[in-house]
Structure 1
């Protein structure tokens, strides 16, 4: 329903926005719901549970750390929804406390079902048989004891700076001194991360259950070896989550960004503590740790059983468990190369569009492999934001340089939590003769671009790959993304200009077909949304469909509200954070928001504008967030071929009809999961899109 007359909405109105941080927590609850869903295979449920913990830790290490630092500094910033920093923290920790409770209720359920499938985690040493005890003792002496270092805490031994996210034992001990007075001691033992968290206990035959004993329990059984002559009073496991955001003054370090990043990565492990996870009932140990870490009570999470749930990913690698996992279809091969043709001639004849993971990422690797050995290829330019350890991309780039080609790679050293990996790749590429550019001052290179220059018939032709996802063959098996291969002269010219602008630190020009951040991308988004609004006012066809990971930018949200007010139908498919509030009468009642969480991570960014029947479709590396528009180099590029537009329309059709994995965002911020019924047959877009 369109409001009449149109209600004036103001950017500063807190009632039209959701809070960014709290919206993220709601997203992680949707991931947790997949762990709770008994329709999912058991080990997949366990995987989702692990992901919730890993997500939560990273969220605390960056976003929550920033809020706590603001609070410590006495800064009460207001978020879009009008909440002050302290109010956001209070509500956030309440939600996280509820989440932790649900996580461990879910864990109990999963462990019970694992036991029914003959996989058992033995958490109580009393459940060990005699042979088990000897086996554990032998393992401790052979593999564990030499690695451990007990650390006493007293005036002459200050509290050690415990590494971020490591598992530790907090121990109180006592002994009788020479005057028969009881002396209490507090000590810490780090559970070694270089050893497996779970030790498989022996079994008499294959028909017996597989049993696993946690490493921390092994250490607890042998504490007398570490604290000779002392008596243990209490032992409790704990984990510290630290501020891990890296902040560098690039203006001052422009000449040596690589060295600066290496130094900052060392500091990451030693940031201020922002959360303490400790066993419930730790009592005195909890208080000691809280005081030593200078934390407030709200920063302490009491955990009922196993800490560090992400370590349970260990069980994904167990053999003979395929019946407890999703069956993933084998990706289709990429675009076909006809007999007598080459990959380049196929791209030159027609743009090629691939949908990962349904179609193989290998086409990108094949293109690089062929280019690295092709004598007609003169130059290769590429951006690397994240890549995988098993990807041959780095190898092919190195081989291309060794074969005399001009190879330039823009490696983003500031890709969060992949910085160390990227530094290693950068050095390896340099050793092969590749010219490596270490990012851009003040910006992250987040765009996904590959440019190949080839001499053909006495002229130079350019071939470009642009994508919504990273050049990472591992994540390409589980992330949904789209890839465009094109020899379109306008797009390839834009890509060439963009590469040269980045490497020369020049001013970003306005391009012909590609729209790039931080200069023109947001401006183009606003122009395209306003055009749909204008079409609606003129009674022409107007519709917007956006698919992205997060929607945060307030200016884009305001433009979508304005479009809704004049009758534009807006469908938003947003996996994670959404600060837009749908369903506000007279403001956003033409906007529908859905989130799809499932076996694949919805990662593709697709932007559709109906444009009075002359539809325009864009793919992008960017979400609609201030950081993407202002602090990153991003690209949005058009899909020009009608057959590819039709294919993307089919993708949207499945996503918007999904009633199995989709949740609808309500105006109060809650999500409602859709369920099929007799009148609405089941549609699971993540499965059904295999055929599209």
Structure 2
């Protein structure tokens, strides 16, 4: 068998062997947009998908595109492993982004028309009747006007700071009785703490629900802010800045303070792109371009800027339950429902919970029970993204206050959740928890809880390992797995992992789990190569891998070699995938499918046939370079045969999906499966998880 270096060299000679990560991301957001466009989806679900497209695009521009712009400014011209230079990729991305924005607003207009049919209207000011105009006049004077701050731009007042991702108005004015000198210019931020869509009073005998945009109402009253001047053009604009933090961890005396400082710097991040109203006044546009030093990444928008508001709008509508999916009523894991003593259950067997179909309350209750149990000596936990009012934080604080040893590894660098995590870290420290901020240069992305309990003369370890965050809010809309176990080897490894994260500990031989950046890559490579050996010897060989993203070149090369050896490989990759399937002589034994549906597919599951003795792993890690080399990640084996069957059933259901699964083609496009089988929608079928646990087929 070829060694990795040889294989990599050979594969690099195939220019069509890889898909570009950022272009693949565009394809992913296109799939989300397709869900917003799909007339078979419920209308408010389509509305939410459209908001997700907007949110995704914001993050992509502020992080990925911002990074490419930095490379161009630095004069970096080297091609990446997919064959793109930064400048070449940037030009192609701008075209793709421009196209998706155009489609996004075409979809918004279509959804608006469909909302009209349901009696829901976004109404123009001139279409209001007298009573509605009077009500809006009062609302403006009493609620809006007091919080508005017009900011003039002239020689004595330089351009004010424009915050990233907020909607502003550009105002071009003439002075009354002026004889035609250069116009005056001002900007005005649309208040983000007021409702973006203002409900209008009902017309008499009408069931219509009408809304007017906040910015529309402000535009109609803009003259009230500039006495002595005549507004001649008022248009919206929005700037997106570079939001990636650049933290000097080595030189930081206090990491928490360093991150707080960098968060504040985000306000002054380099402008990445500018969105403007279609038909914006040329004078306003020229001033904005000059101020932000933007010439190419300018997008003219035909509709309301920033469609993120649609998420809250869809959720705020009352009386339209028929336009949304019925909220899921997750079942409590039957193993803990039958016996509420977690420790007694786990001494007998492992337990797997499948969220959101099974309640995340089981995780919260596990930690809460440990906090209240007098025999529990210590609780150790990693926190990456936590909800705004997390019961887990309360339980950990309570445990510390009662005298237990509580250690929490808080990842302060979880992008866009930094401020919340800083707040939790401070609260936990005040309650007496030992709070650790992880290792320099590495994000702590592993999801693990260790509970140490005195039982007779011995200490027993109980462990929870998850594929998703300890976040009770996202657990309602993300698909993830939770493994609860008292397995001795997993417990030993969990103790060592926390020792490595909080102290000094190296050169440990892991008994069960696999950890990045230490040995996860090499373990995965060994598992993939073992399947290739089985295939070469005529033994059963198969890989099923479910993840969010696949972009690591070495991992792709290993999968290519396994495919060439005859291994059947089914990849279920929701987002970015740089592997190109279906290439003759390279990847004809590999399929890649993406499932985009009501819930966000988030679980990472890895299955290896192993010659007829299957191995199943769950993990916090995608197969991306950052996960394998720059993060503390965890991959845990599933030993219990019954749970192995359950996990296989989850994978099998994803492979059977012929409603929401799209297949990646060798040209980089995604297409729906066209078959004549009865429709199977995996996320809806997964709601029968309680039935599966009672009766499962053999693997």
Whether these two folds match at TM > 0.5 is yes
Counterpart mapping for 1:124-203 below 5 A: 124-176=124-176, 180-203=179-202
Matched residues in 2 for 1:404 and 1:600: separation?
A: 40
- Cα distance change, pair 113–51 in 1 and its aligned pair in 2 (3 A): same
Matched residues in 2 for 1:49 and 1:590: separation?
A: 35
Matched, 1:607 2:603: no
Shift of the alpha carbon at 1:14? 2.6
Shift of the alpha carbon at 1:20? 0.5
8 Å CA contact 2:386–2:470 kept in 1: the answer is yes
- Cα distance change, pair 7–281 in 1 and its aligned pair in 2 (3 A): closer
Structure 2 portions without partners, runs of 5+:
1-6, 690-699
Partner of 2:102: 101
Counterpart mapping for 1:253-402 below 5 A: 253=252, 255-284=253-282, 285-296=284-295, 298-315=296-313, 316-337=315-336, 342-402=341-401
Deviates more, 1:125-134 or 1:34-43: 125-134
Structure 1 runs (4+) greater than 3 angstroms displaced: 6-9, 180-183, 204-207, 337-341
Matched residues in 1 for 2:181 and 2:436: separation?
A: 63
Shift of the alpha carbon at 1:612? 0.3
SS of match in other structure, 1:169: strand
8 Å CA contact 1:169–1:235 kept in 2: the answer is yes
- Cα distance change, pair 7–252 in 1 and its aligned pair in 2 (3 A): closer
8 Å CA contact 1:31–1:597 kept in 2: the answer is yes
8 Å CA contact 1:334–1:362 kept in 2: the answer is no
Matched residues in 2 for 1:340 and 1:135: separation?
A: 58
Counterpart mapping for 1:592-603 below 5 A: 592-603=591-602
SS of match in other structure, 1:619: strand
Matched residues in 1 for 2:228 and 2:477: separation?
A: 53
8 Å CA contact 1:596–1:662 kept in 2: the answer is yes
- Cα distance change, pair 337–95 in 1 and its aligned pair in 2 (3 A): closer
- Cα distance change, pair 78–206 in 1 and its aligned pair in 2 (3 A): farther
For residues 157-190 of structure 1, the C-alpha deviation after alignment (integer angstroms, 9 at most, x for no partner) is: 2111200101100111112567x34341111011
Matched, 1:683 2:672: no
Matched residues in 2 for 1:177 and 1:506: separation?
A: 78
Partner of 1:251: 250
8 Å CA contact 2:339–2:345 kept in 1: the answer is no
SS of match in other structure, 2:546: strand
Shift of the alpha carbon at 1:42? 0.6
Partner of 1:656: 655
Counterpart mapping for 1:19-34 below 5 A: 19-34=20-35
8 Å CA contact 2:235–2:281 kept in 1: the answer is no
Shift of the alpha carbon at 1:7? 13
- Cα distance change, pair 337–67 in 1 and its aligned pair in 2 (3 A): closer
Shift of the alpha carbon at 1:486? 0.4
SS of match in other structure, 2:588: coil
Partner of 2:470: 471
8 Å CA contact 1:175–1:183 kept in 2: the answer is no
Partner of 1:224: 223
Shift of the alpha carbon at 1:287? 2.7
- Cα distance change, pair 79–375 in 1 and its aligned pair in 2 (3 A): same
Matched residues in 1 for 2:682 and 2:41: separation?
A: 16
Deviates more, 1:50-59 or 1:138-147: 138-147
- Cα distance change, pair 102–341 in 1 and its aligned pair in 2 (3 A): closer
Matched residues in 1 for 2:351 and 2:550: separation?
A: 29
Matched, 1:112 2:79: no
8 Å CA contact 1:676–1:682 kept in 2: the answer is no
SS of match in other structure, 1:139: helix
TM (norm. structure 1) is 0.96
Matched residues in 2 for 1:105 and 1:672: separation?
A: 22
Matched residues in 2 for 1:191 and 1:510: separation?
A: 57
8 Å CA contact 2:169–2:236 kept in 1: the answer is yes
Shift of the alpha carbon at 1:79? 1.9
Shift of the alpha carbon at 1:645? 0.9
Deviates more, 1:221-230 or 1:469-478: 221-230
Shift of the alpha carbon at 1:206? 7.9
Counterpart mapping for 1:78-89 below 5 A: 78-89=79-90
For residues 343-391 of structure 1, the C-alpha deviation after alignment (integer angstroms, 9 at most, x for no partner) is: 1010111010111111111111111111111101110000000111132
Counterpart mapping for 1:512-551 below 5 A: 512-551=511-550
Question: Matched residue pairs, number?
Answer: 681
Shift of the alpha carbon at 1:328? 3.5
Matched residues in 1 for 2:358 and 2:8: separation?
A: 46
- Cα distance change, pair 336–675 in 1 and its aligned pair in 2 (3 A): same
8 Å CA contact 2:19–2:578 kept in 1: the answer is yes
Partner of 2:479: 480
For residues 568-620 of structure 1, the C-alpha deviation after alignment (integer angstroms, 9 at most, x for no partner) is: 00000000000000011000000000000000100000001100001101000
Deviates more, 1:590-599 or 1:384-393: 384-393
Matched residues in 1 for 2:504 and 2:390: separation?
A: 29
For residues 304-347 of structure 1, the C-alpha deviation after alignment (integer angstroms, 9 at most, x for no partner) is: 01111001222222211211101233111124347777210101
Shift of the alpha carbon at 1:479? 0.5
- Cα distance change, pair 131–207 in 1 and its aligned pair in 2 (3 A): closer
8 Å CA contact 1:335–1:363 kept in 2: the answer is no
Shift of the alpha carbon at 1:76? 1.6
Shift of the alpha carbon at 1:282? 1.1
Matched residues in 2 for 1:341 and 1:198: separation?
A: 46
For residues 286-306 of structure 1, the C-alpha deviation after alignment (integer angstroms, 9 at most, x for no partner) is: 23212221002x200110011
- Cα distance change, pair 625–411 in 1 and its aligned pair in 2 (3 A): same
Matched residues in 2 for 1:646 and 1:8: separation?
A: 39
Matched, 1:429 2:442: no
Counterpart mapping for 1:564-575 below 5 A: 564-575=563-574
For residues 433-472 of structure 1, the C-alpha deviation after alignment (integer angstroms, 9 at most, x for no partner) is: 1111122211000000000011112211010000100000
SS of match in other structure, 1:482: strand
Matched residues in 2 for 1:67 and 1:280: separation?
A: 27
Matched residues in 2 for 1:219 and 1:7: separation?
A: 59
Shift of the alpha carbon at 1:152? 1.3
8 Å CA contact 1:175–1:182 kept in 2: the answer is no
Counterpart mapping for 1:55-74 below 5 A: 55-74=56-75
SS of match in other structure, 2:358: coil
8 Å CA contact 2:233–2:281 kept in 1: the answer is no
- Cα distance change, pair 205–454 in 1 and its aligned pair in 2 (3 A): farther
Matched residues in 2 for 1:419 and 1:473: separation?
A: 18
Matched, 1:451 2:450: yes
8 Å CA contact 2:18–2:580 kept in 1: the answer is yes
Matched residues in 2 for 1:23 and 1:527: separation?
A: 27
8 Å CA contact 2:8–2:554 kept in 1: the answer is no
SS of match in other structure, 1:607: strand
Shift of the alpha carbon at 1:96? 0.7
SS of match in other structure, 1:269: helix
Shift of the alpha carbon at 1:270? 1.8
Partner of 1:16: 17
